[in-house]
């Protein structure tokens, strides 16, 4: 089952991501929460990630880690009930072959229940993703800043009211 949301501008995209992050952070899991972000260049993946990180309490500026592949942010411990300790942002845009990510220890990160992970350009490494990973697709709308965001799987079945 998928949830489709439409946004008119960058702020609305970030607000949806902010709300999604808050909702996901309330749920417990035996493994990391992993979401693969898929869409054309400029479709809103990094904008979404910025709002998502803010929803988790990340204060640092979020930029796409295209050249460094991954950024790890320690989450504030003000929410004692939240199981997540790390927000991991991965960008697979420059990955020509999935073996290039082996040195990062992805499988170990995916098993750690303290991690919440967003992967831009996840379609490039689809076979490496956990089966329960959520997929969030982005597409351009009819107007310049409009976006359609579709959320599939993961811990997202309860998000109808977002």
In a domain, 160, yes or no: no
Give the chain's end-to-end CA distance (angstroms, integer): 15
Residue 66 has pLDDT above 80, yes or no: no
3-state secondary structure of 135: strand
Q: Average pLDDT for residues 35-39, to the nearest whole number?
A: 97
Q: Average pLDDT for residues 150-154, to the nearest whole number?
A: 85
For position 81, what pLDDT does the model report? 64
* pTM, full prediction: 0.89
User: How many domains does the chain contain in total?
Assistant: 1
How does pLDDT run across 120-136, given as a tens digit for each residue?
999 999 999 999 999 99
Q: What is the mean pLDDT of the chain?
A: 88
Residue 160 has pLDDT above 60, yes or no: no
56: CATH: 3.40.50.300
Q: DSSP for 96-141? A: SSGGGGGGGTHHHHHH-TTEEEEEETGGGGGGGS-TT-EEEEEEE-
Higher pLDDT, 93 or 81: 93
In a domain, 15, yes or no: yes
Asked whether 22 and 57 are in contact (CB, 8 A), the reply is: no
């Amino acid at each position: 089952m998928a949830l489709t949301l439409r946004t008119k501008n960058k702020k609305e995209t970030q607000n949806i991501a902010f709300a999604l992050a808050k909702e996901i952070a309330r749920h417990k899991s035996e493994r990391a929460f992993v979401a693969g972000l898929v869409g054309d260049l400029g479709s809103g993946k990094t904008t979404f990630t910025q709002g998502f990180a803010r929803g988790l309490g990340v204060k640092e500026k979020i930029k796409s880690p295209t050249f460094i592949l991954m950024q790890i942010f320690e989450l504030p411990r003000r929410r004692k009930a939240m199981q997540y300790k790390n927000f991991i942002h991965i960008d697979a845009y420059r990955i020509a072959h999935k073996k290039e990510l082996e040195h990062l220890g992805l499988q170990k990160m995916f098993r750690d229940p303290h991690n919440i992970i967003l992967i831009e350009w996840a379609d490039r490494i689809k076979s490496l993703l956990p089966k329960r990973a959520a997929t969030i697709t982005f597409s351009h709308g009819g107007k310049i800043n409009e976006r359609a965001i579709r959320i599939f799987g993961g811990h997202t079945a309860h998000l109808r009211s977002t």
